[in-house]
Structure 1
Amino acid sequence: MARAQQEGAARRVYACAETFEGQVELPGGIALFGGLDCSNAWSWIGETDKTTLTAPEGEIPLVMRGGDGAARVEDVHVTARAIDPSNETARGLSSIAALAESVAVEMARCTLEAGDAADGRDGEQYAEPALAGEQGNPGIEACSGARTFGGDVKRNECGTPDDLSDDSTGGLGGNGTPTEGGAGSPGGPEGTGGLGGLGATTLECTAGTAGDDGLPGEPGPSATGLGTLSSSGYAGLSGTAGSPGTTAKGGGGGGGAKGGSGANQCAPESAGGASGGSGGPGGCGGKGGNPGAPGGASIALVSLDAELTFDDVSLKAGRGGRGGNGAPGQDGGNGGLGGPGGTVPAGIEGLNPGCSGGPGGKGGNGGNGGGGLGGHSLGIAYRGKPPPSSGLSVETGEAGPGGTGADDSGAAGVKADTLEFAP
């Protein structure tokens, strides 16, 4: 091709009726004549044996662009390889025989044949649930001081350390004093979790209540539309990721117990009652499910603002790839257990233990990812000037179905002789 561009007026390339491996780029102003018997005085046998151009999986064997004038091709069979369905690294690849971009193209006695495209990649699933809450902190034993402090707040940092809005906290346990037990505080975030238990006066304390579970995320929409054409070929559309679940609320802190001194009770200087355990923090919300990727397309010819002229040209397309399925969202993390209340030492009579904190709720599961777009099976995919309706025959395969989402599926690919794409 480079020599033909330098040769001046002739600007012709003659090819044996053999198979050539690797992408060929044909500029405007160059004519490629195939179907020649190189072992027999370069006689023309293109009626029975043509020059074959092919390339590795996923590459376009014939690209026509640039140059000055029309690119002419005669007696050539262009074959884009089918994508091996067992090749996991080739998921979503298209099979495209030829691409013409901003050039006049004249073809005679040619076949452009695309193989089956690859199925799209399914959304990757999460191996582990979101971060679970830890158990709340325990209360302090009775008779440990004039006042015992409740179990400290336990936090589950579901977001960044500087952003507390999606953290979950267990409520503070109630204090214990000689005359009464303090109430536990509500769980978080921002005091919206389980209620704190009541502290003891003459009655026993109460445990903190459980935090509410997080809300599940919304499923992501599945893919719709046609995809896009570009100088590198075709690109389909993925589904949309699901939204994350919300963080669960933390459990309320347990109430503290009344202390006391005297016979068989605490010493006067350490007569505080047992304090309550703190609430368990809630689990983190699960991340949104990963979307399915698009299936590859099988296209005989992609035309980008090209002017096409055909004479006895056959266009063949294979099967479009299935769109990838959207993955389930990540499971929300489990809530932490409430911290146990402080105990009463052996031999002490008439005093009650502190009460336990409430458990944290379970984080909301992430929403399911949307399904990917199914792959097309097209004779000509074009943008700009419509292709001619004469001088050609078209055979197409089946379009690929869309990948599944939670409530819907991605749009199926299109099976058509020609299909126009947006600029």
Structure 2
Amino acid sequence: MFVSPSSGDDRSPGTKGAPVKTLQHAIDLAASGRDDSETPTRRVYACGGVFEEAITLPSGVDLWGSRRCDDGDDSSEEWPLGGPNASTVIAPPVGIPVRVLGGDDQHVIAGDDVTSVIVGVRAVAADASAPDHKSSIAMILSQGARAIVRDSVIVAGNGKDGEPGEDAAIKQATGGEFGNVGANACTADGETGALPVVTVCGDGIESTGGYGGDGGLESGGDGAPGKPEPAENPEGKGMGGTGAGDVRCMNGADGRPGPDSPRAAGAVGAGYLTVDGWIGVRGKDGQKGGVGQGGGGGGGSLSRGPMTACPANRPQRGAAGGSGGSGGCGGLGGHGGSYGGASIGVIALEGSSLALDATDVITGDGGHGGVGGTGQPGGYGQPGGQGGLGFANTPMWKACDGGWGGAGGRGGDAGGGLGGPSYGIAALSASVSFGSEVQIQYGRGGLGGLAGNAPVNDSLGRGEEGDAAAYRPFDSPDPEPPR
């Protein structure tokens, strides 16, 4: 099959005198024959020129480029080989310029020889033109594909920088609730302490202020501690205040603030090879900040003391304690920075076979990893409710106040994304051989992305720098590569 971008027509039969215009049409004809009665030719001759199309080549179909379309003997089997100025350039604006099929996805090719020979082409991948819109990859050999590449040039462009991770909300997380006020003395026969307030923070986690202590006759009840209670609490955070007896009651203690979440780790690893190219690793997402503990409930008071008591015509209980304020919710973590795009000349997947001879492979630079997102500030804790008052115009003691709820912890800043690699050849359990006059010129790996809120020189949480090598073997695929 003959193809010419300048004089061909895809309605033509693809003969030397009537070439087709597009490479893919010529390849399809070569793989299947012009009609049901014709045996597949299995070879495509392409003249010099630029083909702005990505092609898929079944194993067993050959592609001979750099033919001089307007030269030579018309009776010859082949168009003669042209010089550098007649090179066949395969340069689609997007996509993988050359993909060689194999295994279950190849077309049915007659015969035992299922190796494709690619000669005299210049495959050029545009910057960030792979399916992920980040990487630049010039050629992929699918699983089980076999190809020999001779007298050719394989060029990959630059990878694109990874996108920054999404910041968590700038607005603070949900704050706590004000504690409830305790009832005054001599207003009820059963002065129960103020009811608690609750802040619901999601994930089944709540911050609850402690009950206020009950008002009593001869003594007041103790306030309840705020929740969630710390596993270890040597400083008495969020403890309820003691009720009045021989001495006045005590206020509830302020709740413990939720812990800030630490900075998340940056992306590490080599990434993964797939049928669509290379997939990198995102930075770790920041974790949620801790929930603030509710304040302890204030202690209750009493009504009967030396020369004091509620009037005989009123309820006899002392003032009740105020409940603790609830704590603030923890802030959400930022999202990890995305990986930078790769620049790879050829990817050879499992069971494929690639032989290079008298061929140059040139790759660009990998993209930088994206910056991690920033965490959200935690919510404010709120004050506890006031304790109830003693009876007016008497020395009767008032009840005690609830403690403040603790502030929620700040969400963690996320890690930076992996820098994109630059590889001449990347192979996953494939056979790769290098003949004479093979030159591989590779670029630089991209820098790893910074963690959220990190200074330029701070390496904590930074993504790993992208790898760079002429040939990089990968050991095994990942069944579900992270995105």
Q: Shorter chain as normaliser: what TM range?
A: 0.7 to 0.9
RMSD between aligned residues: 2.8
Tell me, what secondary structure is at the counterpart of 1:3?
helix
Percent of residue pairs identical: 37
Amino acid at match of 1:308: L
Q: In the superposition, relative to structure 1, how do residues 110 and 198 fare at CA in structure 2: closer, same or farther (>3 Å)? A: same
Tell me the residue number matched to 2:115: 70
Gaps of 5+ in 1: 85-89
Tell me the residue number matched to 2:63: 32
Q: In the superposition, relative to structure 1, how do residues 266 and 313 fare at CA in structure 2: closer, same or farther (>3 Å)? A: farther
Tell me the residue number matched to 2:146: 104
Contact in 2 for aligned 1:91/1:119 (Cα 8 Å): no
Contact in 2 for aligned 1:31/1:71 (Cα 8 Å): yes
Q: In the superposition, relative to structure 1, how do residues 130 and 22 fare at CA in structure 2: closer, same or farther (>3 Å)? A: farther
Q: Displacement, 1:43?
A: 6.3
Q: In the superposition, relative to structure 1, how do residues 240 and 247 fare at CA in structure 2: closer, same or farther (>3 Å)? A: same
Q: Displacement, 1:333?
A: 2.5
Q: In the superposition, relative to structure 1, how do residues 92 and 358 fare at CA in structure 2: closer, same or farther (>3 Å)? A: farther
Contact in 2 for aligned 1:131/1:158 (Cα 8 Å): yes
Tell me, what secondary structure is at the counterpart of 2:433?
coil
Q: Does 1:146 align with 2:183?
A: no
Amino acid at match of 1:65: L
Give the Cα–Cα distance (whole angstroms) in 2 for the partners of residues 321 and 63 of structure 1. 23
Residue range with higher mean Cα deviation, 374-383 or 352-361: 352-361
Residue range with higher mean Cα deviation, 27-36 or 8-17: 8-17
Tell me, what secondary structure is at the counterpart of 2:30?
helix
Q: Displacement, 1:306?
A: 2.9
Contact in 2 for aligned 1:146/1:178 (Cα 8 Å): no
What do residues 156-181 of structure 1 show as CA deviations (whole Å, max 9, x unaligned)? 22234xx4xx3221110112234433
Q: Displacement, 1:209?
A: 0.6
What do residues 260-285 of structure 1 show as CA deviations (whole Å, max 9, x unaligned)? 69999655332333221101122223
Number of residue pairs aligned between Structure 1 and Structure 2 = 412
Give the Cα–Cα distance (whole angstroms) in 1 for the partners of residues 85 and 47 of structure 2. 13
What do residues 310-365 of structure 1 show as CA deviations (whole Å, max 9, x unaligned)? 333221111101112333333332222212222457x5332343321001112233
Residue range with higher mean Cα deviation, 249-258 or 140-149: 140-149
Tell me, what secondary structure is at the counterpart of 1:364?
coil
Give the Cα–Cα distance (whole angstroms) in 2 for the partners of residues 379 and 371 of structure 1. 25
Structure 2 counterpart of 1:416, from 458, 463, 469: 469
Contact in 1 for aligned 2:168/2:333 (Cα 8 Å): no
Contact in 1 for aligned 2:387/2:402 (Cα 8 Å): yes
Q: Does 1:302 align with 2:351?
A: no
Q: In the superposition, relative to structure 1, how do residues 104 and 191 fare at CA in structure 2: closer, same or farther (>3 Å)? A: closer
Amino acid at match of 1:78: A
Tell me the residue number matched to 1:371: 416
Tell me the residue number matched to 1:385: 431
Give the Cα–Cα distance (whole angstroms) in 1 for the partners of residues 466 and 229 of structure 2. 49
Residue range with higher mean Cα deviation, 40-49 or 145-154: 40-49
Give the Cα–Cα distance (whole angstroms) in 1 for the partners of residues 230 and 466 of structure 2. 51
Gaps of 5+ in 2: 1-26, 34-38, 73-78, 107-112, 232-236, 455-459, 477-483
Amino acid at match of 1:184: G
Contact in 2 for aligned 1:264/1:348 (Cα 8 Å): no
Tell me the residue number matched to 1:87: none
Q: In the superposition, relative to structure 1, how do residues 306 and 144 fare at CA in structure 2: closer, same or farther (>3 Å)? A: same
Q: TM-score, normalised by structure 2?
A: 0.77
Q: Does 1:230 align with 2:274?
A: yes
Contact in 2 for aligned 1:284/1:363 (Cα 8 Å): yes
Q: Displacement, 1:79?
A: 1.3
